[in-house]
Chain A
Amino acid sequence: MLSEYAPIAALLVISVGMGILILFISRIFGPFRPTARKLAPYESGMEPFGPAIRRIPVKFYRVAVLFILFDIEVIFFLPWAVVFRDLGSYGLVTMGVFFFVLTVGFIYEWKVGGLEWE
């Protein structure tokens, strides 16, 4: 069964190899004349001020945590979907309860404003 994945290993090796080759082509063929202006961070022509990475706004973390919650739900849906036909009403009802709990959470999240971006 492991031999099923051999082609993937081959593709991985080929794509990584070609990728590295492409990465270095520019270094080999292109000019290399660094000047201070070229190396400065690009800010639409202005002088850059302040450090590049300041505090990352917390809304990104919030999106990430919410994503994890619902992604786990999706992950649990997948094996259930595979055996769904054999499970009959038992599968539908038990997964329905799981789905209900997550939906309650989603409704709460929505109304409390957790899904607002700004």
Chain B
Amino acid sequence: MFEVPSLSDLNVGATLPVTLLALGACVLLVVDLFIPRERKSITAWLTAIGIGVSLVFSLLSLSGAVEFGSGELAFSDMYRADRLTDTINVAALITALLGVMVAYDYLERTRLQRGEYYILLMFSAAGAMLMGAANDLVIVFIALELLSIPLYILSGFRRPQEASEESAMKYFLLGAFASGFLIYGIALIYGATGTTNLPEVWDAVAGVVAEDSAAKFLVMIGAGLVLAGLGFKVAAVPFHMWTPDVYQGAPTPVVAYMSVAAKIGGFAALVRVFGMGLSTFVLESGAPAAWQDTIWLVAVLTMLLGNVVAIVQSDLKRLLAYSTIAHAGYILIAVAAAGTAGLEDTAAQAVVIYLIAYAFTNAGAFAVITAMEKDDASNTSLDALRGLASRCPWLAAAMAVFMLSLTGIPLTAGFVGKWFVFKVALQADLVAAAVVGVLTSAVSAYYYLRVVWMMYFEEGEGDAATPPALAWAIGVAAVGTLVLGALPYLLSDMAREITLAFGG
């Protein structure tokens, strides 16, 4: 007979941020039904409050001031509430908050204002938070679905417009495929190890490798399929094909949220599964994990493709789409570095630092595009930037900050992220990857700085409207980028105690 757990075994206290967010979303779903169409701003405010409450709890947990719940594990060892979880929670919640702020005015002026947008956003954020807290492969899958399915719906939010519907269909179909790959990989790993619990997988994989049994191949193929599934989410090559089309077609506030949240969730899961679960998968003793080569190769391809194709783009949204592919490549280097024994913690820290820096930067960049975009979704091409500085100086300045940060110029958050990623790459002896990373960053300077050039030094009709919520969002993102760039110890201190080791 099984042992019946008691309610306190659930340790809901440790899961408070995500539980409160999900509960808030459920309640808001019902409350929103009774809010009339003209007053949907109430829903937006309630969403912001819900996310804020969850953010307060995660910050309290992060700072160590309050200890919620008892111990690190919750939900029968399926949820791990450690430092990595707290930082991922904060990242996801900040992104969600920025997403709400960017979306509100856009929805007003396109007359798409529906409460469901905010509720879907909350559910998606809960999914991203769960992916960071996963202690079990099944939770990775469930969280992936919770993260993705609202995004499919949000991509198609501008319903009569064909581009939006098309992007939703593409995202959904390809995402369903990717989920299939992921679950197949999980099934194979389960078949090889007999468990889905990540610490137990870690143990079992060590045993499989030691005995040199045929289960090794199951683990290898399983790991590859999991990489495929999660790689789709973070837009790694060769699973990146959906990114440009979906980013271009979906409503811009959705892309602002989606580009960051999907990466936060995807990379958190990659770190958990590969850094924590499969780090013992070494085929010769003393060598790094067997998957390290594959992942850094994928990283190199991703960086190359993202940066090179971005050069020829003329539409801002597509340009930024390829730039997200490139940035996924940079973060993947850090994930690859987690394969070297002893560097898992540093690699996880680098990933988290990059993700937070990227959150502010990318959300801000898409927020600026939202400001530029006209009601009929036109005016997002590069030409629309011409002369923006003369009409909207603050907006142009913010965009300049975001572009510099994406390039990786010092004093911006993007530089801090790249610094830590390349540092851990060199520590892991992935010199080729680091070199490619630096070179492609230099290449990327071309198209990022071209944006700055067009805003400041070209004559044109560039114009934008910044209603209050959007202005606040852009302001927060720009300030965040600059502050995190100028004071890098903020990020490194927060990340310092992240460890993938599990005691409990």
A–B direct touch in complex (beta carbons closer than 8 A): yes
The answer to whether B26 touches A104 (Cβ under 8 A) is yes
Select the residue from A88, A90, A94, A101 with max chain B CB neighbours within 10 A.
A90
Assembled-state Cα–Cα distance A86/B5 (Å) = 11
Q: Nearest-CB distance from B43 to chain A (Å)?
A: 13
Q: Nearest-CB distance from B141 to chain A (Å)?
A: 16
A87, A88, A90, A104: the one within 8 Å of B29 (CB): A104
The answer to whether A90 touches B33 (Cβ under 8 A) is no
Assembled-state Cα–Cα distance A104/B33 (Å) = 11
Known contacts A108-B33, A111-B33; is-contact A100 B26 (Cβ 8 Å): yes
- The prevalent SS among residues of A at the interface is helix
Q: Can you name the residue of chain B whose Cβ is closest to the Cβ of A94?
A: B10
Assembled-state Cα–Cα distance A112/B30 (Å) = 10
Assembled-state Cα–Cα distance A89/B30 (Å) = 27
Chain A residues with CB under 8 Å of B33's CB are 107-108, 111-112
The answer to whether A101 touches B26 (Cβ under 8 A) is yes
A86, A93, A105, A111: the one within 8 Å of B7 (CB): A93
The answer to whether B5 touches A107 (Cβ under 8 A) is no
The answer to the question of B214 belonging to the interface, with a C-beta cut-off of 8 Å to chain A, is no
The answer to whether B29 touches A89 (Cβ under 8 A) is no
Q: Mark B481-495, 1 if CB is under 8 A from A, else 0.
A: 000000000000000
- How many B residues have CB within 8 A of the partner chain? 12
The answer to whether A90 touches B30 (Cβ under 8 A) is no
Assembled-state Cα–Cα distance A93/B86 (Å) = 26
Q: Nearest-CB distance from B446 to chain A (Å)?
A: 48
The answer to whether B4 touches A87 (Cβ under 8 A) is yes
Chain A residues with CB under 8 Å of B6's CB are 88-90
Chain B residues with CB under 8 Å of A111's CB are 33
Q: Nearest-CB distance from B361 to chain A (Å)?
A: 35
The answer to whether A86 touches B26 (Cβ under 8 A) is no
Docked complex: B1-31 residues within 8 A CB-CB of A: 1, 4-7, 9-10, 26-27, 29-30
A86, A93, A105, A107: the one within 8 Å of B4 (CB): A86
Chain B residues with CB under 8 Å of A101's CB are 26
Q: Can you name the residue of chain A whose Cβ is closest to the Cβ of B1?
A: A86
Q: Nearest-CB distance from A114 to chain B (Å)?
A: 12
Chain A residues with CB under 8 Å of B29's CB are 104-105, 108
Assembled-state Cα–Cα distance A108/B30 (Å) = 6
Which 5 A-B residue pairings sit nearest by Cβ, starting from the closest? A111-B33, A104-B26, A108-B29, A90-B7, A107-B30
* 14 contacting pairs across A/B (C-beta < 8 A): A86-B1, A88-B6, A89-B6, A89-B7, A90-B4, A90-B10, A93-B7, A101-B26, A104-B27, A105-B29, A107-B30, A108-B29, A111-B33, A112-B33
Chain B residues within 8 Å of A, Cβ to Cβ = 1, 4-7, 9-10, 26-27, 29-30, 33
